Structure 1
Amino acid sequence: MDEHEVVEDVHGFNGLPTAQKRRSILRFLDRRDYSRFLKDLQSRRLRGAEALDVRSLGLIQSISCPADRICLPPALQGRVVWEEDVPVAIHALPKGAIVKEKGIPWGVRHIQASRAWSKTTGFGVRIGVIDTGVDYMHPDLRHSLERGINLLNRMAPPQDDNGHGTHIAGTIAAANELQGMIGVAPRSTIYPVKAFDHNGTAYVSDIILGIEWCVRNQIHIVNMSFGMKTKSRALLSAVNSAFRSGVLIVASSGNDGRTGEIDYPAGFSNTVAVGASTRAGRIAKFTNRSGLIDIYAPGDRIMSSWLRGKHREMSGTSMATSHVTGATALLLALKPHLSPAQLKSVLKSSTSPLRTSKAPRSAGELNVVRMIKLAEQL
């Protein structure tokens, strides 16, 4: 087996100028090949070879490396699958105004979350938010956060330098009703996974590393308010692995207003695909929509936490996704033994009908009261 030839190939690309670098993902179909490759790579490093920017994606027995495209040696043909490590972007429309509104935001009221708090507040549920990080100093979130991880700088905390992740976290689990706001599941716990930079961009491999971290740390639900048009087989493999491990991924459909198609990872069957709705209970104009969407939730002009202790209105399927993630936490705290497939089934089966729309759909709008009633019958 010639794993060392792949190491040589990767090493050759490492000398390219940074501006020219594109990343690749190599997925080994046989775990023994993957183990031998890692052993060979480690041996070279121990012998003092130049450090290679090769990242191990153990969840799917793959590597990510800076290479345009690697020519596999004949011995590995059919044993390793190549794909480009493409960029991914967060799902949000242009930022709205900074606001001073307090209390329960309209989206949290609209899905009737507060009517379930006498029975469940999400206590004990661990939520991974793979995003731009979170503002750890925000008063709305100080009781809702654990350390998490910064995949861009392992030595630093996952502090938000964009705002998007803080906004998502606020809708899910803010717990400061008197001075700030309260989220859908105010006693759930968020573990921020910073995979996106200050511009709101990441690589597929960053997302896979985030999913792997969540699986290893026994996270229950993962919020993915981002997407891409490309169908990544590596990301699909990671999503399916998480699903089999008992982790439910909630993903946003995208904001391009397309009909008949949605972004990935929402387009994968083992996620909960979320579209955005308005105050009037209609599908938001900006949301992507198709029969692949599992549920709609408030995503238009959503007020939530922002950097430096502030609050901001934002719109997008990102915001809708965070409502569904919070509702899933309420459900899981009430029925902790439900599997990802059962959680998804309850969410889809308990929705309220949306108002008349010409958009193709089979999904309804999130309704927490109906969700809890259905769950109590299980």
Structure 2
Amino acid sequence: MSVSRRGGSRGTAVLGAVAVVAAAALATGVASADASTTGASSTYLVVYKEKTSTSGAGSAVAAAGGQVVATYAPISVVVARSASPDFAAKMRRATGVEGAVATTRFASAVDGGAVSADTAAATQTTANVAGLPGLNDSLSGLQWDMTQIKVGEAHAISTGDPSILVGDIDTGLDYTHPDLAPNVDSAASANCVSGAPVPGAVAAADDNGHGTHTAGTIAAAANGIGIVGVAPSVKIAGIKAGNADGFFFPEAVVCSFMWAADHGVDVTNNSYFADPWLFNCRNDAEQRAIWTAERRAIKYAQNKGVLVVAAAGNQADDLSHPTQDATSPDDTNPVLRTISNACAVVPTEVPGVVGVSATGNKQMKSFYSSYGISAVDVAAPGGDSILQLTPAAPNGRVLSTWPAALLTVTCLPARRLVDASGATYCYQQGTSMASPHAAGVAALIASVTGDTGGALAADLQRATNPIACPADISPYAFFPGVDDGAAQRCQGGRGQNGWFGAGEVDALKAVG
């Protein structure tokens, strides 16, 4: 999300007692009315019992007054559309169906991270800036994040193998950007927004900016232009699940993982939270149907050897000890509700998913980053514009690629950068920025070991530098959890704790 409250960027939110504004890096999403109650056509997830055949779904959906959009037989899930207000009720009575729910109200938003408000400052145009060891592109001198995790040193050994494919499940990517074009795999890219994949990089073009930013961190080419990604020689697929407003609807999330599983993707980056419910609770029928479908899709991808890497979120919440959810549903009007460990964040808390917290340039946990002893596996640079300003990171944020057409639309003025070639970039912060660093390191590991899935996840956790819980957490006193209002706390030892997991990722260890 890394740009809104979870990992991406949408609207404004208040983080903590001091009312730090979570600036909108993207256009504010406007929620539509629930079509299932207005008579307009709505999209539905129809979830059959696990391992039940969906061969009769077409007839059942038609009989209930709908049309099939896509059938995902391996996970017994169907995406349908209908204008009938009782479509879901009819489908729930169909043979083999476990649940059916309209998804119109159920979107998640990318979250670029809690950020302080930017003022004035026009777009900056810069000539080449001094590079860093092993990083020689024109803006490499601004990439404190890459220096911190030893990317330059790693590139002396490996820049990644072109046979490795990273699927960036996000808002798409700018396949024409000069730092991304050399590495985009168009055949493996798709637009999943409708719930049915539309193949090709053109279809998956980014109309938001968030996906282009995360893609650049993963695989921006080492071509002398702009920045360098963690794994600049691997291939990247844009799998568009988020729309222009940064909303990720459940049918798009399901479609994306099924596409990744069946198109040779080795690693997926997921900088968002799925479903409008930050915490998905098993005792709620609507939430259960949606997260059952999403979790099945993730498991299907994992069974095909896909490593799923996901942002922990930007709520400063302890995901391992949830008590309240004040964020959901984030596409309409959030309602405060009491929750427990029966509720979980998707995809971060799905078994086998590598959860990533964010660090800044002082290698402290970022003030906004969510955490949890059972949820965070590794940490990576995501930026911190309040607690971790340094000479190397004067604004605390991470620089990466941004679509030229959106630079003055979805990137705030003080964050814009145009290098001497005319290529466009934007500074952002959030766990959305941390997750692609970890995904890029995983791609480097896969390049040198050939490992996949669970073995690759274990490799990634070993390719880290452990960071102990800080003795003094007073700097975080002003940033309690957004949802429960509780003071931040760090549990665990140096080798595994709730703030940093096994530690901050290290690209040199990944290839050494």
Q: Is the counterpart of residue 81 in structure 1 residue 99 in structure 2? A: yes
Moved more, 59-68 or 70-79: 70-79
Aligned match of 1:305: 401
Summarize deviations over 1:73-101 as a string: whole Å, max 9, x none.
Answer: 78647752345632122131259785546
Residue of structure 1 in register with 2:490 after alignment: 359
1:30 Cα shift? 5.7
The runs of 5 or more residues in structure 1 that have no matched partner are 1-11, 374-378
* Alignment CA distance shift 1:13-1:65 (3 Å): farther
Distance 2:158 2:382 in 1: 23
Look up the match of 2:459.
346
Aligned length: 353
Aligned match for 1:121, one of 159, 175, 181: 159
Residues 283-321 of structure 1: per-residue CA shift (max 9 Å, x gap)? 101111001100000000100011113111100101000
d(CA) in 2 for partners of 1:90, 1:74: 31
**Residue number in structure 1 paired with 2:78:** 63
Contact 1:144 1:173 in 2 (8 A): yes
Task: Decide whether the 8 Å contact of 2:269 with 2:439 is kept in 1.
Answer: yes
Question: Which has more helix, going by share of residues?
Answer: 1
Supply the distance in 2 between the matched residues of 1:370 and 1:31 (Cα, whole angstroms).
41
SS at match of 2:108: strand
Paired residue for 2:305, among 223, 236, 246?
A: 246
> What is residue 287 of structure 2 aligned with on the other side?
none
Q: Percent identity?
A: 25
User: Could you tell me whether the CA contact under 8 Å between 1:168 and 1:322 is conserved in 2?
Assistant: yes
Larger mean CA deviation between 291-300 and 78-87 belongs to: 78-87
Q: Greater CA deviation, 256-265 or 148-157?
A: 148-157
Which residue of 115, 137, 146 maps to 2:185?
146
Q: Within 5 Å, give how 1:213-292 maps onto structure 2.
A: 213-228=259-274, 229-231=278-280, 232-261=291-320, 263-291=345-373, 292=375
Q: 1:137 Cα deviation (Å)? A: 1.9
Which one is further off, 97-106 or 225-234?
Answer: 97-106
Instruction: Report if aligned partners of 1:289, 1:360 keep a CA contact under 8 Å in 2.
Output: no
User: Which residue in the other structure is 2:27 paired with?
Assistant: none
AA in 1 matched with 2:228: I
TM-score of the pair, normalised by structure 2: 0.63
Q: Give the match for residue 370 of structure 1.
A: 509
- Distance between the aligned counterparts of 1:137 and 1:73, measured in 2? 43
Separation of aligned partners in 1, 2:459 and 2:50: 36
Does the alignment pair 1:109 with 2:147? yes
Query: Which residue of structure 1 aligns with residue 428 of structure 2?
Result: 314
String of CA shifts for 1:174-220, please: whole Å, max 9, x gaps.
11452311010000101101121111112111011011111111111
CA contact (8 A) 1:282 1:355 kept: no
Alignment partner of 2:380: what SS?
Answer: strand
Residues 92, 99 of structure 2: 8 Å contact kept: no
Q: Distance in 2 between matches of 1:74 and 1:226?
A: 29
Say if 1:91 and 1:252, in contact at 8 Å, map to a contact too.
no
Q: CA RMSD in A?
A: 2.9
Q: Distance in 2 between matches of 1:14 and 1:209?
A: 25
